[in-house]
Amino acid sequence: MSETSNLNIAVVGGGPGGYAAAFLAADLGMSVTLIDPELNPGGVCLYRGCIPSKALLHVAKLVEEAEQAKNWGVDFAQPKIDLSRLRSWKEGVVKKLTGGLGQLSKQRKVQYVQGMAAFENSTTLRVTKNGGGEDSLTFDKIIIATGSRPAAVPTLKLDSPRMMDSTGALNLEDIPGSLLVVGGGYIGLELGSVYAALGTRVTVVEMLPGLLPGADRDLVAPLHKRLEKMLEAILLNTTVSSVKAEGDGIRVTFEGANVKEREKVFDRVLVSVGRKPNSEIPGLDKTQVKVGPKGFIQVNKQLQTDDSAIFAIGDVVGEPMLAHKASHEGRVAVEAIAGHKVAFEPNAIPAVVFTDPEVAWCGLTETQAEKEGREIKVAKFPWGASGRAVTLDRPEGMTKLLVDPQTERVLGVGIVGAGAGELIAEGVLAIEMAALARDVALSIHPHPTLSETIMESAEVFFGTSTHVYRPKRG
């Protein structure tokens, strides 16, 4: 038995951070209590985030592909959407996965308590159970994994069922005739794409000059182009100054230098302007935990807070607010508690936008390199030269490698195109293994696959790509 087997730990919040931490702690022999208000573990990701959105995006992709099939001589009838069956399919996916986590939790003998936790002191939690009743429980260590919630904007506050956040949008109560998505980030674009595929006229409004702020512009361009065809309008450099309930809709007022139509009525409005960390945990002030100015709990590289008995992981400790970052942090925190020599210092946390085309990147981005004045070489492989992309009729994609000019080490990978979210995993491995561009170029990739675009972008770096001709200079 390891010395960790007599540790008694609590994990507050059962999302991908919390349940990953709880399960590893149990695997390492600790006695674990996992507290969350839902019936089973899963958190935002499984109940109202990653999973339901991807189930619906799968349907959206199918509808779009059926339309595109006309170009290939296959004419499908106009799809008929049975909303209640679509909803129950999505809910079935969530139930299957969260139920599975419940099972895994039982198999590992994790004590799952359905309720909300508050701090009495650094090691004692008061748990208010869903079914009623309170328990005061004391632990050796506590991991906070309380996640985040949609950010609210005062000018967009309106008590109307027509106003939605991402949770409301995923409920899919109806297919509105028109929808305004406020915020051109990944959540707004993913959910906007779902509604557009189901037949809604979708407008996206973004206050910055481009969609997906923070992502490299060359990765966003093909997505922007496709969305322009799919959506009613994309309004950039534009803000929403007011929303008012009016008859059967919401009257929205726009502001911005290029605004053509100052006011417009929409059937529904989806506000997706970011997320706020859930750090306002009752009683947290009775501990030494410090919360930063943006509301994130402050932690060190072992995910330990300023209170030595308390660790914190996931969305509540900072960006990027992504499920896989939360899970990895959860594992690091538990290993740190177990006394292993660990630190959370990844070189590449992948980001994926599951639109069509998908946009994915990891490691250094060109935007970041430019900001830091860092010298890099960029090698791009256009998917028009990829056999697989052409067979899929998706030649608009692009794969690029960001390479250190001195060492030829791969520092970053960016991909836009169908299935980019799956492909980026190779980039993560290349960066974490400190691969050189030569390693990537010399690894034989299966033909015909989109993965070849990663190998060929490395070949582009050396000017020897089979499918991209670059005339010799001089």
Ligand X SMILES: Cc1cc2nc3c(=O)[nH]c(=O)nc-3n(C[C@H](O)[C@H](O)[C@H](O)COP(=O)(O)OP(=O)(O)OC[C@H]3O[C@@H](n4cnc5c(N)ncnc54)[C@H](O)[C@@H]3O)c2cc1C
Chain contacts with ligand X (rule: CB under 6 A)? 12-18, 35-38, 43-45, 49-50, 53, 116-117, 145-148, 166, 187, 278, 281, 314-316, 321-324, 326, 354
Q: Shortest distance, CB of residue 265 to ligand X, whole angstroms? A: 25
The first and second tokens of residue 264, run together, are: 């417009």
Q: What is the DSSP letter of 120?
A: S
**Residue 447 annotated among the catalytic residues of the structure:** yes
How many C-beta atoms surround the C-beta of residue 108 within 10 A? 15
Distance CA 34, CA 383 (A): 46
Q: Toward ligand X, which CB reaches closer, 118 or 378?
A: 118
Residue ranges in 109-176 assigned as alpha helix (H)? 166-171
Nearest approach in angstroms of CB 198 to ligand X is 16
Q: Could you tell me the smallest distance in angstroms from the CB atom of residue 57 to ligand X?
A: 9
Sign for the CA dihedral angle at 8, 12, 14, 20 comes to negative
Question: Which amino acid belongs to residue 431?
Answer: I
On whether the CB atoms of residues 8 and 29 are closer than 8 A, the answer is no
* Residue sitting closest to ligand X (CB): 147
3-state secondary structure of 328: helix
Closer of 37 and 199 to ligand X (Cβ): 37
Minimal CA–CA distance to 435: which of 455, 416, 417? 455
- Which CB, 17 or 412, lies closer to ligand X? 17
Q: Which of 324, 328, 445, 447 is catalytic?
A: 447
User: Which runs of consecutive H residues, i.e. helices, occur in 15-69?
Assistant: 16-27, 43-48, 50-68
Cβ proximity to ligand X: between 348 and 437 the closer is 348
- How far is residue 168's CA from residue 275's CA, in Å, rounded to a whole number? 15
Hey, what are 308's tokens? 């030595």
Q: Whole-angstrom distance between the N-terminal and C-terminal Cα of the chain?
A: 69
Integer angstrom CA distances of residue 64 from 72, 201, 396: 13, 15, 16
Using alpha carbons, select from 298, 285, 460 the residue that is nearest to residue 378: 460
What is the rounded CA–CA span in Å between residue 394 and residue 398? 10
381 close to 453: Cβ distance less than 8 angstroms: yes
Compute the least distance from the CB of residue 188 to ligand X, in Å: 9
- State the minimum distance, in angstroms, from the CB of residue 18 to ligand X: 5
CA distance 422 to 376: 25
Q: Which is nearer to ligand X, 21 or 437 (CB)?
A: 21
Shortest gap between Cβ of 21 and ligand X (angstroms)? 9
Shortest Cβ 66–ligand X spacing (Å): 24
Residue closer to ligand X by CB (options 36, 356) is 36
* Alpha carbons 446 and 27: distance in angstroms, whole number: 37
Q: Which is nearer to ligand X, 49 or 414 (CB)?
A: 49
Residues with a catalytic annotation lie at: 447
